Structure 1
Amino acid sequence: MSRILAIVSDLALVVVFVMIGRASHAEPLDMEGIQRTALPFLAGTLMAWIGFLLKRHSGLTLVNGVFVWAMTVVLGILFRLLLGDTAEFSFVLVTAAVLAAFLIGWRAVVWLVRRNRPEQPRAKDPRRSGNPAKRNAG
């Protein structure tokens, strides 16, 4: 999986989280409302990814997922409060739980799939053989 696809996946999952939350509270799913609610969390997600890009991390590991999740939740709640919105304790708990499932979850699935994939036999390179005659033949 490429980094671009991972970034887009994280951002899309944050928007899905926002849409589920708005729908569960019978709030309209209009573009303005979704943007207003999603912006603080998208900013947190993007800040985590900027850190990965500056440090040249792939952003695809489970540990990276925990970092993206933590930054998204902490900065998202902080930015939400700075913009004058509320963040009740139950909201913070639900936000943390759902975003953990989303942002860490897809990385866990990728890790499990890669871990359980049967290893492909490698073509033997005669130059890497322990036999000097075969090494010099290529």
Structure 2
Amino acid sequence: MWLLIDLLLVGVFAVVGRLSHYGTLTVGGWWSTAWPFLVGALLARALLAAARRPPAAVTSGVVVWLGALVGGMVLRQVAGQGTATAFVVVATLVLGALLVLPRGVLASVGARARR
């Protein structure tokens, strides 16, 4: 379940970025922004799948966040796309919020429900 949610949220990150910078959205423009982060998230998910003992939801969110962020920035650099400091800061914050916060909220709600 989280795999699809993670990919969807990374896609939302790319949509918001494209719209905020260009004011329009095309499939090609979205894809050029999204693919490095999607690949980074998928690599992180593969790492999680290979783990003998799956981590807690919030921990897995941190792994996916860092994978999407670091993998995305490395792939953007290799592809000749921008990795300006301001972009890295914004991507760090937005991807962190999108990929970690939902897990934290659900974990908190689940903990309260068990009490």
Q: CA deviation at 1:28?
A: 3.0
Deviation at 1:69, TM superposition (A): 0.6
Whichever residue aligns with residue 81 of structure 2, its letter is D
> TM-score scaled to structure 1, two decimals?
0.78
What secondary structure is seen at the aligned counterpart in 1 of 2:103?
Answer: helix
What is the deviation of 1:27?
4.7
User: Counterparts of 2:56 and 2:26 in 1: how far apart (Å)?
Assistant: 32
* Alignment equivalent of 1:101, drawn from 97, 101, 115: 97
Give the 3 Å change call, closer, same or farther, for CA 59–33 of structure 1 in structure 2: farther
Q: Deviations over 1:107-138 (max 9, x none)?
A: 1011011011145xxxxxxxxxxxxxxxxxxx
Give 1:1-138 correspondences, 5 Å limit.
Answer: 5-58=1-54, 61-119=57-115
User: Relative to 1, partners in 2 of residues 1:51 and 1:17: Cα closer, same or farther, differing over 3 Å?
Assistant: same
Query: Structure 1: which 5+ residue stretches go unaligned?
Result: 120-138
Distance 2:25 2:32 in 1: 11
Which residue number corresponds to residue 122 of structure 1?
none
TM-score (norm 2): 0.93
The percentage of aligned residue pairs carrying the same residue is: 34
Counterpart of 1:55, as a letter, is A
Matched residues, number? 115
For structure 2, the 5+ residue unaligned runs are: none
* One-letter amino acid of the structure 1 residue matched with residue 67 of structure 2: M
CA distance in 2 between counterparts of 1:8 and 1:42 reads: 11
Q: Name which one, 1 or 2, has greater alpha-carbon Rg.
A: 1
Q: Which has the higher helix share?
A: 2
Question: Could you tell me which amino acid in structure 2 is paired with residue 112 of structure 1?
Answer: S
- Measured against aligned partners, the alpha-carbon deviations of 1:8-42 in whole angstroms (never above 9, x if no partner) come to 00000000011001101125311111111100000
Structure 1 stretches of 4+ with a deviation exceeding 2 A read 56-60
**Greater relative CO (CA pairs within 8 A, separation 6+):** 2
